[in-house]
Structure 1
Amino acid sequence: MDEHSPLFAIAMAAELAGMHPQTLRQYDRIGLVRPTRTAGRSRRYSMRDIEQLREVQRLSAEGVSLEGIARVLTLENQVAHLTSRVRELENALSDQVLKSSGRRVFAAGEHGDVIPLRRGTRTQKRTEVVIWRPLREE
């Protein structure tokens, strides 16, 4: 089930969020949580909407104004969108790197630093041998 799928009618969403249905209508009117509308104009809430309703309830209990709550929700939605976009770009980049086989973009140095490599070059291999002996307790 996708968290953005509009599945719940207002009565069920109110029960899941622990609120009165009239409160959900009020939050919809002022734009805190905007449920999807059916062809008959009834509200349908997703799990994401219900999570936001719970967040509104929590912030309101902590004394945050409705205007402040709206700002917090806007910022949280922006963060979620940007996080999703970063994942998309990371996947696209990894797909591109896999398609260009035999090409190294960079190597990691011994201290975690990034070492850029030209095409066709390799990193130097280390040949040191390290022997580890546990301390003997006497």
Structure 2
Amino acid sequence: MYRRRLLWALVPSLSVSVAGCNDADPMNGPDQGSEATPDGRAEIVDHELVREGAGTDEETVAIEGAVRIHEEGLQHVELRGRFFDPEGEPLDTTFERLQEIEVGTQPFEIQYPEIGPAAAAVDGYEIEITTVI
């Protein structure tokens, strides 16, 4: 929970994608084309894979980050997170929809749907963003 508060405090100062996830390798995150919407109305400015309770039956994994909204009038922003095992095989795809859209930067979280050993198998991810006017 403290990470979210820290992320929220740092979000206004972020201006470029960080976390070293700018190649097409799913083990490292998204490719360049998936970090902004085609219309340029929104972009992912930060993201990372966050693991809590590692090694326990309650282990969870999520993609946490921030989205910058550039224009008013969006109904929602949808984020799609794809989770992969150590061999790069897909495990699951999860969607998160941000509906309270305001111009500026706001945090997001895409939770892997399983916990425990299933969550422990997650080793990489990809993320994409879309918007609806």
TM-score interval (norm. to shorter):
under 0.3
Q: From the CA coordinates, give the structure whose radius of gyration is larger.
A: 1
Query: Is the strand fraction higher in 1 or 2?
Result: 2
Query: Which TM-score applies when normalising by structure 2?
Result: 0.24
Compute the TM-score of the two structures, normalised by the length of structure 1: 0.24
Question: Which one has more relative contact order, counting CA pairs under 8 Å at least 6 apart?
Answer: 2
